[in-house]
Amino acid sequence: MGSIDDYLDGLDPADRDEIERIYAIARDLVPDAEQGTGYGMPALTYRGKPLLSVMRAKKHFGVYPFSQDAVLAAEPELADHDHSKGTVRFTADHRLGDEAITALVLARRDQIDH
């Protein structure tokens, strides 16, 4: 799969807007993040490691911070969202809040920094 921009170009506008919102928050928090891939998915990378990917699935959006520890660190903000060790799932009707995105991104950034 190609870059984040390539991926976004193939989505319907509502889905694209939601995914762009999450990437914008991540870029504000980690200005050095760049477009790349992580486990074959378009992703933001930081210091050569995958930071965050956001993908549209059939019935939900998936946020992948590439780290079980990042999900655990953000768990207080994820209480009302479906999540597992490496994925957070949400729908357009029940969006992932800015606080949850911030917690995921900062936890993953800090993990990469150490």
Distance in angstroms (rounded) separating the CA atoms of residues 100 and 79: 10
Residue 2: pLDDT band (50, 70, 90) is low
Average pLDDT of the chain is 95
Type and span of the H or E element at 113: helix 98-113
Please name the fold of domain 4-113.
Aspartate Aminotransferase, domain 1 (3.90.1150)
Tens of pLDDT along 36-73?
Answer: 999 999 999 999 999 999 999 999 999 999 999 999 99
pLDDT of 100 > 60? The answer is yes
Can you tell me the mean pLDDT for 74-88? 93
* Sequence-ordered strand ranges (E) for 1-114: 34-38, 41-46, 49-56, 61-64, 82-83, 88-90
Can you tell me the mean pLDDT for 75-101? 94
Among 103, 96, 93, 69, CA closest to 82: 96
Domain ranges of the chain: 4-113
Can you tell me the mean pLDDT for 90-106? 96
Can you tell me the mean pLDDT for 93-112? 96
Please report the pLDDT score of residue 54 as a whole number.
98
Distance in angstroms (rounded) separating the CA atoms of residues 5 and 109: 22
pTM: 0.94
Percent of the chain surpassing pLDDT 90: 94
pLDDT of 24 > 80? The answer is yes
Asked if residue 49 lies in contact with residue 36, where contact means CB atoms within 8 angstroms, the answer is: no
**Strand 41-46 vs strand 88-90: parallel, antiparallel, or unpaired?**
unpaired
